[in-house]
Structure 1
Amino acid sequence: MKTQTLRFFFFGIFALLTAFTSMAQRGSQNPFLDREYWAAHPDLNDIEAKVAEGHSLTEANGAGYDPTTFAIFGGNPVATINYLIEKGNDVNRRTHDSRTYIFWAASRGNLELVQYLVGKGARIDLKDSHGYSATQFTAASGQSNTKIYDFLIESGADLKNEKDHDGRDVLLVAAPRVKNLDLIDYFISKGLRLNTSDNHGNGLFNIAAQGGNIDVLKALVARGVTIDKNTNTNENAILFASRGGRGSSNSLAVFQYLEGLGLEPNITSNDGVTPLHNLSRSASDLAIFRYFIAKGVNPNSADKDGNTPLLNAVSRNKQEVISFLAEHTSDINQTNNEGHSALTLAIQTNSASVVAYLLEKGAQTNILDKKGNNLAYYLFETRGNPRDFDEKVAALRKAGFDFKKRQADNSTMWHLAISKNNLELLIKVQAFDADINAKDDQGNTVLHYAAMKSSDAEILKFLVANGADINATTEFGETAYDLAQENELLSENNVSLEFLK
């Protein structure tokens, strides 16, 4: 019974993946999911013409954005938004990160649209997946138009009691994005406190430091806001500043200013995080890295998850930063708690040039993660299709990596490739000479999985043409033909399965 349950679980997962893939493919053809379309402010006649062509006004893409959201992003008039809502988009529809339309409208300062949405029944009490209310998300986006906040308050927003997952009120949420204290003073006039803190004991100065605005920090000091370290977490403003903003980092001047206040640069949180851990994710100014190393911050220290600054950097940062940290690392093959080395993470998310560099520095190719998966697994364990696949494969081959070795669950390169449902990848995998009829621990071959997740016959026919055994059975005696008959997408597309008999 347990094995059968697992089989249905995997079948369900494949069905969902296929459905999402199909949705994404349809979305790429739907002009209403094209941000540029809405940026051009199409008139209602054009919109209706495309609806007549069969395009959906209610479809969402894989990230949860729908036509109404893109129309708001594009600054389209209220009449257009009204048309979209009247055509079946509920005013409180959850989109990306569980945000409703009023989140997007308010964050962009579109008071007219916010007023319209509230008039249509938009709820002010909803929260997104980060725990933000519409008011908080608006503040987190850097919106400084107080008329937006005035209207949200009039409509029921409760600034004193609205808190995100970390217990931060709107004043704290706004702090990293403000350009001066005007918005902070506005929130204080609405009853919030200057010396407030979140659930972890982080106060206004530390949180504001993440934004790196020295003028704001100076103004807070002048107001008497405490700059003390958070004794609950052992974090100070320098550690917060090292986080930077989304996709950005603060300048060396920010850290020097904070040090000048008497704050310690060589700081390690209770979770083992140092400034170098945070900076390594996105900062590119090597002078900042040199500054912290000169102050005694250890470039080899691991946080509670076992990640070093180098391990953080190889996941997403540039070659220059990775090379700098690699030169300061004591062990290029150090792994985190999941068994990921720098090479593992670079293969998964970074470029082929980073992979080649790490190999030149002595990165081992025989590394296994804690689940027993080797490096080949991480070629495919990516969002979307693998990056620099051919180049990474060539680099690993040159280093002597054996692509015929199976993963911990006995899956082969064929099994890994079918997870992407991409014929081009499968054609490339053919060159690895892996056994196309090998079964994994679930008792399935690549053809079985293809039968469960394909939406057409292309991949199935390719596998059969290259030796996949149509008579191979699962642990339950099912052939690829049997599984394909259960595949609703193949049925909906009227795919003939005779070649699988």
Structure 2
Amino acid sequence: MTLPLQPFGLRSTAVEHRWRPTAIASPILQRLLLSCLASLLSSAPLMAQPIPAVTNSASPWCKLVPSFSDPYGENQDWAALERIIAQGGDLNQSCLIFPNQPVFLLHYLLETNQEQLVQRLIDQGVNVQVKDRDGNTSLHVLRSSENIGRSLIQKGVPVNAKNSNFGNTPLHEVYYDRTAGVTALLLENGAQVDARNLEQKTPLHLAAEIGKAEIVEVLIRNGADVNARSSNNSTPLHYGISHGAVTRLLLQAGANPMLQSDSGEAPIHSPNLAPASLQLLINQGVDINLPAYEGKTPLHIHGQPPYTNASAQSDLVKLLLANGAQVDARDAKGQTPLYGANFESAQQMIAANANLNSQDLEGSTLLHYVALRPDLAAKLVPLLLSKKARLDLKDNQGRTVLDLARQQHSNPVVNLLERHIANQADPSGISPLSDLQLEIRYLQQQLNAKNWVTADAETRRLLTKELDLYSPNASTSSLDLIRSIDQAWIQASSGRFGLSVQAKLWREALAKHPNNNEAAVNALRDRLGWKMLKPRPNDDFISSDWLNESELNRIMQEAIDKKNRTGRDHSRKGIGSVEEKTRLGNRKWRHKSPVRC
């Protein structure tokens, strides 16, 4: 489940979706946000748990709260709090710092590491057994003071109490500035080293996850199970694999690097894998080709974006290839690591002799795959073509990569492929085609085959690559390209269709109506067959007597179908008939300057 909390500084861990504070300065604010999250995720309403009576009127501590411009900042008036403690009064009352978020003075001072003030509170007889709304005791919120920890334990605060939101014991609370010394103190006083929280995580899971190597070492020294499984069967090594020092400690203590989680991931598959940790795993003899979910090997996983640290990703791929990763291993879809790899990773795999013509279970090659990825195509297609990747291979639907690119209207890929095909060495010695010849090569093929609809669509594609159809002046395409398209149509249609044909008809219409542009436009419309035979009942945005694009397409197709049946041409108006619509952008262009050739 994805939770919209990242703007508040929360992130999800790699192995399980457990949210951790990363960017909020105050420990208390972090705890309060986590409390809200736990309440939202629970089935019980927010107010179902018992909450102490709260008021900001009775206690001197509560009265001071509104004067805090920043309750969790570093520049509080600690002297004022000290005076309040000295005055006595009700120091056990929870006070509202944020709405519906009561905080005890004892917890507040523990969270902010005010050791002297905490000791003054204890000396004043404050109730050290209080729990907040999430069941956190004073030992849960204890940070770094071993002396205060001893005082709390001596006064009977339980070392194995679990809070209600995560089921954590004080030993689980390794976050913020919790020290190894406090961890050791809890263990010395009976804390269960392998206590489980609601996710079946032990304190070692959590300490490994956030890279607290000193705490990890203390836990291991006190007998923590280095292969303990969480609720999704992840071990501490799964969580600590992003930290080289933690990985080293766990492996030295006997952590099994081959254990896989419910999703089939071993630590080597983790997207948070650090290069230093990978080297340690390799030294340990881990199977570098171990398949995970969907049969993906480590090379499949670590060659793919997104990675925030490109250097680390490059190092991972380099290490894998240098240590025997199978560059052509296939996953459950029959795809090799090259499929989906980013450009830098692909370069490394190609240099390692990856098979560029491998076909997956759908018959698609890497080129087929890249043709659907414009973000990769600009760099990867030229690289693959330079390495002799084959263009003639067809997928299970009988499509070559060029067929697929055209079908997907991927103009940049189409142009790259056509240019490459046309410029291959010709046995006859004919020189490579010019760029302009390449541009219209496919159009000429369709015109020669009398595939008018396909030729019509290709003409639009060629023009709209450069043509701003919404500009007041649409004549922005290359003049050479326009002339080449025009000549191709004229030759294929024996002079009936072409841009110059329309230009000629437009000049004739202007000559008949030199002082009335609207009448000239309507005359051209009528000559081309763009007028409704029967007016629409209601005017639309085009106007009631103009055919729209879908109507023009339908009429054109009907004419083509009828010609195929009868052998006679039934398209409207002969010269410059409805097939010409796309040469003017498939739109009524009465407010555009016509193309002039």
TM-score class normalised by the smaller sequence: 0.5 to 0.7
- AA paired with 2:168? E
For residues 104 and 360 of structure 2, what CA distance do their matches in structure 1 show? 51
- AA paired with 2:223? G
Instruction: Look up the match of 1:252.
Output: 180
For residues 415 and 221 of structure 2, what CA distance do their matches in structure 1 show? 65
Instruction: Look up the match of 2:262.
Output: 337
Residue 349 of structure 1 aligns to a residue whose secondary structure is coil
Instruction: Look up the match of 1:29.
Output: none
Contact 1:212-1:250 at 8 Å conserved across structures: yes
1:373 aligns with 2:373: no
The structure richer in helix per residue is 1
Q: Summarize the alignment of residues 153-168 of structure 1 with structure 2, pairs less than 5 Å apart.
A: 159-161=98-100
Residue 371 of structure 2 aligns to a residue whose secondary structure is helix
- AA paired with 2:380? I
Q: Summarize the alignment of residues 447-466 of structure 1 with structure 2, pairs less than 5 Å apart.
A: 447-455=367-375, 457-466=378-387
- How many residue pairs are counted as aligned between the two chains? 342
Instruction: Choose the corresponding residue for 2:283, options 360, 378, 387.
Output: 360
Aligned-residue offset at 1:292:
2.3
Larger of the two Rg values belongs to structure: 2
For residues 224 and 344 of structure 1, what CA distance do their matches in structure 2 show? 45
- AA paired with 2:374? S
Identity rate of aligned residues, in percent? Answer: 17
1:481–1:463 CA distance, 2 compared to 1 (3 A): same
Aligned-residue offset at 1:140:
12
Q: 1:285-321, CA deviations, whole angstroms, 9 ceiling, x for partnerless residues?
A: 45x44432343322222222222223322x2112x43
Instruction: Choose the corresponding residue for 1:195, options 131, 135, 141.
Output: 131
Residue 261 of structure 2 aligns to a residue whose secondary structure is coil
Instruction: Look up the match of 1:480.
Output: 401
Ranked by relative contact order (alpha carbons within 8 Å, sequence separation 6 or more), the top structure is 1
Q: Summarize the alignment of residues 137-216 of structure 1 with structure 2, pairs less than 5 Å apart.
A: 142-143=72-73, 159-161=98-100, 177-180=111-114, 195-198=131-134, 202-205=135-138, 207-209=140-142, 211-212=143-144
For residues 216 and 316 of structure 2, what CA distance do their matches in structure 1 show? 28
Q: Summarize the alignment of residues 99-498 of structure 1 with structure 2, pairs less than 5 Å apart.
A: 142-143=72-73, 159-161=98-100, 177-180=111-114, 195-198=131-134, 202-205=135-138, 207-209=140-142, 211-212=143-144, 229-230=161-162, 235-240=168-173, 243-245=174-176, 250-259=178-187, 262-283=190-211, 285-286=213-214, 288-313=215-240, 315-318=241-244, 320-329=245-254, 331-345=256-270, 349-351=273-275, 353-381=276-304, 383-384=306-307, 387-388=311-312, 392-393=316-317, 395-397=319-321, 399-417=323-341, 420=342, 422=343, 424-455=344-375, 457-485=378-406, 498=418
- AA paired with 2:113? K
For residues 97 and 173 of structure 1, what CA distance do their matches in structure 2 show? 26
Residue 405 of structure 1 aligns to a residue whose secondary structure is coil
Contact 1:332-1:362 at 8 Å conserved across structures: no
Aligned-residue offset at 1:475:
4.5
Residue 371 of structure 1 aligns to a residue whose secondary structure is helix
For residues 427 and 415 of structure 1, what CA distance do their matches in structure 2 show? 12
1:490–1:226 CA distance, 2 compared to 1 (3 A): farther
Aligned-residue offset at 1:326:
0.9
Q: 1:235-277, CA deviations, whole angstroms, 9 ceiling, x for partnerless residues?
A: 321121xx323xxx63222123434665444433353322222
Q: 1:342-371, CA deviations, whole angstroms, 9 ceiling, x for partnerless residues?
A: 3333x86211x4323322222123422143
Residue 414 of structure 1 aligns to a residue whose secondary structure is coil
Q: 1:186-238, CA deviations, whole angstroms, 9 ceiling, x for partnerless residues?
A: xxxxxxx963222xxx32435414x4455776898899977661276663211
For residues 178 and 495 of structure 1, what CA distance do their matches in structure 2 show? 63
- AA paired with 1:179? N
1:372–1:140 CA distance, 2 compared to 1 (3 A): farther
1:244–1:432 CA distance, 2 compared to 1 (3 A): same
For residues 98 and 250 of structure 1, what CA distance do their matches in structure 2 show? 22
For residues 110 and 411 of structure 2, what CA distance do their matches in structure 1 show? 51
1:217–1:180 CA distance, 2 compared to 1 (3 A): farther
Residue 258 of structure 1 aligns to a residue whose secondary structure is helix
Residue 464 of structure 1 aligns to a residue whose secondary structure is helix
For residues 363 and 291 of structure 2, what CA distance do their matches in structure 1 show? 23
For residues 196 and 140 of structure 1, what CA distance do their matches in structure 2 show? 21
1:323–1:159 CA distance, 2 compared to 1 (3 A): closer
Q: 1:63-116, CA deviations, whole angstroms, 9 ceiling, x for partnerless residues?
A: xxxxxxxxxxxxxxxxxxxxxxxxxxxxxxx995379xxxxxxx789xxxxxxx
For residues 387 and 425 of structure 1, what CA distance do their matches in structure 2 show? 11
Residue 428 of structure 1 aligns to a residue whose secondary structure is helix
Aligned-residue offset at 1:415:
0.7
Residue 350 of structure 2 aligns to a residue whose secondary structure is helix
Question: Greater CA deviation, 446-455 or 227-236?
Answer: 227-236
- AA paired with 2:169? N
1:275–1:348 CA distance, 2 compared to 1 (3 A): closer
TM-score norm. by structure 1 comes to: 0.54
TM-score norm. by structure 2 comes to: 0.46
For residues 226 and 386 of structure 1, what CA distance do their matches in structure 2 show? 47
Aligned-residue offset at 1:160:
4.1
Residue 339 of structure 2 aligns to a residue whose secondary structure is helix
1:378–1:142 CA distance, 2 compared to 1 (3 A): farther
1:258–1:98 CA distance, 2 compared to 1 (3 A): closer
For residues 197 and 215 of structure 1, what CA distance do their matches in structure 2 show? 26
